[in-house]
Amino acid sequence: MKLNDSEWTVMQAVWQRSPASARDVLERVVDDTDWAYSTVKTVLARLVEKGALREQKRANTSLYEPLVTREAARREAVRSLLDKAFDGTFGSLVQHMVSAEKLNKREREKLARMLSELDRKGSDS
């Protein structure tokens, strides 16, 4: 499931604490977005329609809970980025990050450890 920027903003607020009402979401995002309540309601409705959120009514209030985990949404976003910008290959993304983004020493060491761990796991299989 692909999320646009406004949907990511709302999902982050709901993942932070759920169930969440539209007012809860607005309180969490208003400083960064200056959105009106109606904007939040529109994005929430779109996320329910997409199947990313579940809406439950309690009294006169709608409460929203995520149906998609943050990790699943991240996987989809990375897959989409890989497909669009890096010919679908993770290696191209890593090469770009190492060369163009100038990873600091700590980040390079962490990447090396992660690759080494993958190599170890791969040889166990």
What is the per-residue pLDDT for 56?
A: 96
What is the per-residue pLDDT for 123?
A: 63
Average pLDDT per 10 consecutive residues for the chain, totaling 125 residues: 94 96 96 95 97 95 96 93 89 83 85 88 65
What is the per-residue pLDDT for 124?
A: 58
3-state secondary structure the chain: CCCCHHHHHHHHHHHHCCCEEHHHHHHHHHHHHCCCHHHHHHHHHHHHHHCCEEEEEECCEEEEEECCCHHHHHHHHHHHHHHHHCCCCHHHHHHHHHHHCCCCHHHHHHHHHHHHHHHHHHHHC
What is the per-residue pLDDT for 55?
A: 97
